């Protein structure tokens, strides 16, 4: 990837911890190469279950949004985000829960208002690359993840159109939009490594019943040098991530770093000609004058 201070990548995630499980090493690599890195977190994560028994305490439960905000700040520092922006919505929880019915839940947000908030951020930060969630989330159809996709795509389009939200700043066209992906190839490689090492694999049959989107993947960013970043950032989310989880930490750290050392993406929108085989999310995007930011 090119090292240019005038370049910016902006990611849109649903909850605190999503930024660590999806593409953390890519962001660390961008940061190392001098690219500005911006995270938009859409919800407070207050409806998330406390998955780490050591954090299942009353003081944590009573202050969960604040705790998760602090965890996010720590994880963002580990990853290398220059800025973290809170879109300001409540965690929607899962369907048919009280959280999902709350009027301030992200899933119940006024569509144009939520899109407008993101448009204002895009116009202010002026990223060339946006990373968000895709159109096929059958594997994990969380309402907030669905909503991230549903506001991100129109926000990118409207940010470039002066007719939309004229009060939100000067129009800005994003050059590329990528969707995060968790490939079947990654799951297979990890599953086989567990078995090779004589360990019980957390990848049971249900994992392999999920829709296979590998053929849609266009771009693989090599992240081996930054593999520790995801590991450490996940651990920063002490309420959400159990440090004994075999799914996240069942393989030795040094082994996990070599099993599938790529973050994978689907190129969803592009206004430039690029060679995605380079694994460079900025490939094809011309360097711009910093004064144009």
Q: Looking at the domain assignment, is residue 286 inside a domain? A: no
Pick the closest to residue 148 from 164, 162, 134, 163 (CA basis): 134
Q: Looking at the domain assignment, is residue 283 inside a domain? A: no
Angle formed at CA 153 by CA 149 and CA 156, multiple of 5 degrees: 140
Question: What pTM value is reported for the model?
Answer: 0.95
Q: Looking at the domain assignment, is residue 242 inside a domain? A: yes
- Please identify which residue in the block is written with the tokens 């001098």: 34
Q: Looking at the domain assignment, is residue 77 inside a domain? A: yes
Coil, helix or strand at residue 194: helix
Query: pLDDT by residue for the chain (293 residues), tens digit each?
Result: 444 779 999 999 999 999 999 999 999 999 999 999 999 999 999 999 999 999 999 999 999 999 999 999 999 999 999 999 999 999 999 999 999 999 999 999 999 999 999 999 999 999 999 999 999 999 899 999 999 999 999 999 999 999 999 999 999 999 999 999 999 999 999 999 999 999 999 999 999 988 899 999 999 999 989 999 999 999 999 999 999 999 999 999 999 999 999 999 999 999 999 999 999 999 999 987 544 54
Q: Looking at the domain assignment, is residue 1 inside a domain? A: no
Q: Looking at the domain assignment, is residue 113 inside a domain? A: yes
What is d(CA 243, CA 51) in angstroms, rounded to the nearest whole number? 10
Coil, helix or strand at residue 290: helix
Specify the number of domains making up the chain: 1
Q: Looking at the domain assignment, is residue 253 inside a domain? A: yes
Coil, helix or strand at residue 36: strand
Residue range of the domain that includes 42: 8-183+215-274
CATH number at residue 149: 3.40.50.10320
The DSSP annotation for the chain comes to ----TT-EEEEEESSTTHHHHSSHHHHHHHHHTT-EEEEEEEE--TT-----GGG--HHHHHTHHHHHHHHHHHHHHHHT-SEEEEEEEB---STTSHHHH-TTBGGGS-HHHHHHHHHHHHHHH--SEEEE--S--TTS--HHHHHHHHHHHHHHHHHT-TTS-GGG-S----SEEEEEE--HHHHHHHHHHHHHTT---S--HHHHTS---GGG--EEEE-GGGHHHHHHHHHH-TTT--TT-HHHHSS-HHHHHHHS-EEEEEEEEESS---GGG--TTTTPPP--GGG-
Coil, helix or strand at residue 165: coil
Q: Looking at the domain assignment, is residue 152 inside a domain? A: yes
Coil, helix or strand at residue 12: strand
Say what the alpha-carbon torsion angle 124, 125, 131, 135 is, to the nearest 10 degrees.
Answer: 10
């Amino acid at each position: 990837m090119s090292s240019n201070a005038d370049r910016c990548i902006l990611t849109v995630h649903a909850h605190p911890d999503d930024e660590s499980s999806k593409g953390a090493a890519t962001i660390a690599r961008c940061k190392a190469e001098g690219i500005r890195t911006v995270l938009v977190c859409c919800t407070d994560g207050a409806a998330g279950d406390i998955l780490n028994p050591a954090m299942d305490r009353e003081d944590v439960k009573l202050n969960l949004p604040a705790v998760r905000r602090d965890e996010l700040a720590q994880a963002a520092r580990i990853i290398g985000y220059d800025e973290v922006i809170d879109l300001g919505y409540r965690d929607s929880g899962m369907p048919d829960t009280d959280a999902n019915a709350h009027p301030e839940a992200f899933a119940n947000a006024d569509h144009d208002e939520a899109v407008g908030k993101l448009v204002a951020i895009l116009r202010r930060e002026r990223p060339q690359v946006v990373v968000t969630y895709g159109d096929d989330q059958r594997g994990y159809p969380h309402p907030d993840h669905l909503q991230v996709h549903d506001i991100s795509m129109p926000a990118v389009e409207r940010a470039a159109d002066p007719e939309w939200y004229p009060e939100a700043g000067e129009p800005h066209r994003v050059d590329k939009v990528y969707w995060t992906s968790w490939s079947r190839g990654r799951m297979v490689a990890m599953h086989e490594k567990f078995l090779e090492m004589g360990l019980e694999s957390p990848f049971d049959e249900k994992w392999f019943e999920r829709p296979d989107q590998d053929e849609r993947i266009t771009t693989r960013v090599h992240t081996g040098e930054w593999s520790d970043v995801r590991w450490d950032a996940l651990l920063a989310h002490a309420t959400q991530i159990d440090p004994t989880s075999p799914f996240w930490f069942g393989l030795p750290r040094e082994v996990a770093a070599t099993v599938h050392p790529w973050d994978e993406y689907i190129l969803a929108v592009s206004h430039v000609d690029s060679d995605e085989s380079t694994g460079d999310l900025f490939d094809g995007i011309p360097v711009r004058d910093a004064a144009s930011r």
